[in-house]
Structure 1
Amino acid sequence: MSSTGTDGPVVRDRPVAQAVNVTKRFGSTVALSAVNLVVRPGEVHALVGRNGAGKSTLVSILTGLHAPDDGHVTFDDEAAPAAADRDGWRRRVACVYQKSTIIPTLTVAENLFLNRHTRGYGGLIRWPALRREAEKLLAAWSLDIDVRQPAAMLSVEQRQFVEIARALSVGARFIILDEPTAQLDAAGINRLFGRIDDLRAQGVTFLFISHHLQEIYEICDQVTVLRDARHVLTAAVADVDRPTLVAAMTGEDVTLPQVAHRPSLAGAPVRLSVRDLATTSGAELSLEVKVGEVVGIAGGGSSGKVDVAEAIVGLARPARGTVVLDGRTLRPGSVPDALAAGVGLVPQDRHREGLVPALSVAENVTMTVPHRVGRYGFISPARRDALARQTIADLAVKTSGPQESVGDLSGGNQQKVVMGRALAGDPKLLVLIAPTAGVDVRSKQTLLDVVADVRRRGATVLVISDELDDLRVCDRVVVMFAGRVTGEWAHGWTDNELVAAMEGVGFDHV
């Protein structure tokens, strides 16, 4: 939907937001170098680039969290507010981050009017009035959410809508969406895109940050590409094909790995046997996977694929069933037992389950393998750092060294650290849950290359994802829908048939 088309939104000349020759340095690191960005009213403007390209720094400047060293930012041709004027910034721009800023222990109404509570005599909060205002606000934007419920009960999709509504209630009409689809299934993405279309018809403008390039072509009008802290391209999406966009992001052509044709694994021994597994949510799975085989488990957000994967690796205790790895029955709900048996895991959410942000790269990589980096209960810093340096080299982690805090890394490099820890124990079974969510195309290539490397060493791999690029490396893909396996596809499947199966169409294919 191009802004230049006859059916697109009306675009005026005056930019909603503009960054002019913005430069930002952190010590000796140049995070942005003379970057320009122009976002016009009513458009959805994509901001793309590899992890570390400067996107997050530009967002921090557009939202007033950092001041540029050179250059300036304007809103509606007026200078940006002073750094200390947080209310002024909130009236002009809001960012819905990949990591939600909603406070789960507060109600929806409290989150909507955080620090803006309706107060009566004596400064006491008028709770009935607050809830009425919250209901009125959500109704104005056609959001059907109970304002009395704790925010912890909201889905990822609902949390995003609440954050958008909160920003709109302050007066902002320029919304930055940072990887908004990273944790949504296909149906949730469609609803989000529908909401974006509705809001921009009401005068809201969006800056859309995503590593999923197909989404850029579905929802965005303009695209700006950053590479190595510099602006390299701004163009109408309709005028830029995918190879050109990838080349602009990377400076080179990038081809994602696919599994090569290989002989049948029919004679290989069984490595993993999942027998009559049932999760507390009601998802069910029985599956056998051979030594050296890569099997995908695909499905939408409510398919149960993540539930069964977490039960296999011990993150969740199943209601019934057994998991057998090389003849050893794993203890239900025990991560230590799974690790001891030779399971390596990349969990779904690196922020909550995969990283300790305050610890270093070396500490994160080696925390599950103390026996490899010490003796007699004492860690050897030299051994720990040596293993971390090998991981940094193998996975091309962009970091100053093993001692850098993992919380200071970009999203793609954090995911590489999580992958490095999964590989640190030389696993027999590697379980990857949404392994490339929220990472750039080059990091995605590096992470998926790991699959080919570990299978050559004889490991078995489970890839749990609804991303087609993740699933292309698999020998076969098992599709789940509503908690049940509904079909199995051998390598060579088409995008249309697999997507249809994940959406509940085209069952019973083998």
Structure 2
Amino acid sequence: MSAVTRSDASDPVPLVEASGITKRYGPTTALQDGRLTVMPGESHALVGRNGAGKSTLVTVLTGLQAPDAGTLRFDGEPAPALSDRDAWRRKVACVYQKPTVVPELSVAENLFIHRQPTGPGGVIRWKQLHAQASELLDTWDVRVDPGARTADLRVEDRQMVEIARALSFGARFIVLDEPTAQLDNKEIERLFARMRTLQESGVTFLFISHHLQEVYEVCQAVTVLRDARWITTAPVAELPRAALVEAMAGEAVTVARDAARAEVPRDAPVRLQVTGLGSAAYEDIDLTVREGEVVGLAGTSGSGKIELAETFAGLYRPERGIARLDGRELPFGDVPAALAAGVGCVPRDRHDQGLVSGMSIGDNATMSVLDRLGSYGFVGAEKKRAVGEELIERLDIHAEGPHQPVSDLSGGNAQKVVMARALASDPRLLVLINPTAGVDVKSKESLLARMDSAREDGTAVLVVSDEIDDLRRCDRVLVLFHGRVVADHAAGWNDHELIASIEGVDRG
């Protein structure tokens, strides 16, 4: 599939034109031959699976880092010097998922932060500040009280404040990074209406979203990245949804079931039984996981998949519903109680949630089973060392020994320590959240092999992952979309089927 061509001399100059963008971090190539051409006044989608290179391209487009190769032009002129932040603010701004406003300040203060009108002695002229804020908001039809505390705003209004702030610098190119992730359907409709109004006023958007149906609703053109490379740029109206999914996924790959792996018997005992589970992040979840069954949970970042998995691990308390593990009600909102009930968990972030960096491998790997290693809080050093050594061998952790600090380990070996701790308690339900994120190929295979071993031991396994290869090891994959289970794919699915469900393409 080829790029959009605009060879006619009468065509307008692209507002943004990036070509041959390459960015490396040591031996890792984060982006190779990145390309983007955005015309004035359009909404241009940038799509691709996780790791496709979207975030890297955005950091180059917004002047946060220089490419190792390639060129970037705005309105036909070379991009400003990286050190000239004011010039970049006049060109482009990015509204991220995480707010960049100061929540305790007012809307007016956030709009003109570090550039408030001042009088003698640097005293802020509050009346003038509010007048300027009102004028700016009126100009761009942003209906927000300039005196309101930003923390009290709805997500959609906070986004519009950030857009207005960017426009106040003179920027007319706005990058929206997953802007709908925290919005409901009505809020999304209002955001799209505001985007169309701003487009009519000369504002251009780069729209990044995992929800492909939104691309067809609000964008005129789309660029696809895959495996850190540019794949295609095309008018949205000329790109069928199936072709867009194929561009993101590559050639369709039908995954055959491993003949050596027996299917879970239909009469296998039920380990996890979930009925009517609901919260702000997910709704009406009914789920059954049998002994020795591996069930995947897939979806986009706002699907509710992670919150659902973390609920079983005791991190959240749902508003309604019940879950039973081997017939006994699971305790919610209590991690130690969930551990005692038979739940092991590899959390989503090994640095913040999975490891205590100042402690050794042995201490980290055994902290969930200290009650088994000693009485009244006393654990013999020799016993802890022996258990640590056994886990190191079991998980193939490359280390000097259980005394070595986990902070010295590579990402793959550190993740193996987290897995070792989850398995140390011999859980009946194993919850794995992005278990192979940020690890090398050999470590990934080792971690997935441990998941297979747990399955063979009769453990029920829930796997949340953005990695297609992780999900291939599952007996079935449930897809969540806006908090609801919308598809149940048996083993043998192909990439197109799964990605279409995840992105919402098969729902009109």
SS of alignment partner, residue 213 of structure 2 = helix
Match in the other structure for 2:7: none
Report the CA distance shift for 1:473/1:147 in structure 2 as closer, same or farther (over 3 A). Answer: farther
What does 1:89-128 correspond to in 2, within 5 Å?
89-128=88-127
Does the CA contact (< 8 Å) of 1:64 and 1:83 recur in 2? yes
Q: 2:504 is matched with which residue?
A: none
Q: 1:97 to 1:288 in 2, by over 3 A?
A: closer
Matches within 5 A, 1:17-416: 17-254=16-253, 269=269, 271-272=271-272, 289=288, 291=290, 313-316=313-316, 324-344=324-344, 356=352, 369-370=365-366, 387=395, 403-404=410-411
Closer, same or farther: CA 313–93 of 1 in aligned 2, 3 Å: same
Whole-Å separation in 1 of the counterparts to 2:184 and 2:362? 32
Q: SS of the residue aligned with 1:356? A: helix
Q: Decide whether aligned partners of structure 1 residues 74 and 308 sit closer, same or farther in structure 2, where only a CA change above 3 A counts.
A: closer
Q: Deviations over 1:163-185 (max 9, x none)?
A: 22221222111011222233333
Which residue does the alignment assign to 1:410?
A: none
**Following the alignment from structure 1 to structure 2, what is the Cα–Cα distance between the partners of residues 213 and 200?**
20
Instruction: Kindly provide the CA deviation profile for residues 280-303 of structure 1, in whole angstroms up to 9, marking residues without a partner as x.
Output: x8x99897846358999999x999
- Measure, in 2, the Cα distance between the counterparts of 1:68 and 1:273: 50
Measured at CA, do residues 67 and 288 of structure 1 come closer, stay the same or move farther in structure 2, by a change above 3 Å?
Answer: closer
1:10-52 alpha-carbon deviations (Å, 9 max, x no partner): x951111111333333334333334332111111212223333
Q: Distance in 1 between matches of 2:18 and 2:118?
A: 38
Moved more, 372-381 or 232-241: 372-381
Residues 284 and 214 (structure 1 numbering): CA distance in 2 closer, same or farther, change over 3 Å? closer
Q: Which runs of 5+ in 2 are unaligned?
A: 5-9, 258-262, 370-380, 399-407, 439-444, 466-470, 491-496, 502-508
Q: Distance in 2 between matches of 1:302 and 1:34?
A: 29
Q: Within 5 A, what are the aligned runs for 1:451-466?
A: 458=458, 460=460
Cα distance change of structure 1 residues 124 and 54 upon mapping to structure 2, 3 Å threshold: same
Q: CA deviation at 1:205?
A: 0.8
Give 3-state SS (helix, strand or coil) of 1:13's partner. Answer: coil
CA contact (8 A) 1:135 1:147 kept: yes
Whole-Å separation in 1 of the counterparts to 2:304 and 2:462: 15
1:386 Cα deviation from its structure 2 partner: 7.5
Preserved contact between residue 362 and residue 389 of structure 2 (Cα < 8 Å): no
Distance 1:405 1:271, change over 3 A: closer
Which is worse superposed, 109-118 or 60-69? 109-118
Instruction: Give the C-alpha shift of residue 276 in structure 1.
Output: 9.8
SS state at 1:175 partner: strand
Q: Give me the whole-angstrom Cα distance separating, in 1, the residues matched to 2:284 and 2:274.
A: 7
- Structure 1: how far apart are the matches of 2:285 and 2:246? 42
CA contact 1:295–1:478 (8 Å) conserved in 2 = no
The code of the aligned residue for 1:315 comes to L
Q: TM-score, normalised to structure 1's length?
A: 0.64
Partner AA of 1:17 in structure 2 = V
* Residues 229-238 or 38-47, more deviating: 229-238
Distance 1:143 1:248 in 2: 36
> In the TM superposition, what is the alpha-carbon distance from 1:94 to its structure 2 partner?
0.6
Query: How far off is 1:78 after superposition?
Result: 1.7
The residue number in structure 2 matching 1:442 is none
Deviation at 1:380, TM superposition (A): 5.5
Q: Greater shift after overlay, 71-80 or 336-345?
A: 336-345
Count of residues paired in the alignment: 443
3-state SS in 1 of match to 2:223: strand
Letter in 1 for 2:64: L
Q: Deviation of residue 245 (structure 1)?
A: 3.0
CA contact (8 A) 2:298 2:477 kept: no
Q: Structure 2 vs 1, CA of residues 209 and 319 (structure 1 numbering), >3 Å: closer, same or farther?
A: closer
Q: Tell me, what secondary structure is at the counterpart of 1:45? A: strand
Specify the alignment match of 1:411 in structure 2: none
Tell me how far 1:225 sits from its aligned partner. 2.3
Equivalent position of 1:395 in the other structure: none
Distance 2:481 2:53 in 1: 37
Deviations 1:343-384 (A, max 9, x none): 35688xx6xx775299799x9x99985359997556959956
Cα displacement (A) at 1:76: 0.8
Q: Distance in 2 between matches of 1:37 and 1:204?
A: 17
Q: Distance in 2 between matches of 1:30 and 1:208?
A: 24
Offset of 1:264 from its aligned partner?
Answer: 9.8
Q: Distance in 1 between matches of 2:106 and 2:39?
A: 35
CA radius of gyration, larger in: 2
The residue number in structure 1 matching 2:494 is none
Note if contact 2:346-2:419 (Cα within 8 Å) is conserved in structure 1. no
Partners of 2:395 and 2:420 within 8 A in 1:
no
Q: CA deviation at 1:224?
A: 1.9
What TM-score, normalized to structure 2? Answer: 0.64
**Alpha carbons of structure 1 residues 97 and 289: separation in structure 2 relative to 1, 3 Å:** same
Q: Could you say which residue in structure 1 is the equivalent of 2:403?
A: none
> How is 1:494-509 mapped onto 2 (pairs within 5 angstroms)?
none
**CA shift for structure 1 position 93:** 0.3
CA distance in 2, matches of 1:205, 1:24: 25
Give aligned-pair identity as a percent.
Answer: 49
SS state of the match for residue 252, structure 1? coil
Over aligned residues, Cα RMSD in angstroms?
5.7
Distance 1:457 1:384, change over 3 A: closer
The 1:291–1:114 alpha-carbon spacing in structure 2 relative to 1, beyond 3 Å, is same
Letter in structure 2 aligned against 1:87: D
- The whole-number CA distance in structure 2 between the counterparts of 1:428 and 1:219 is 46
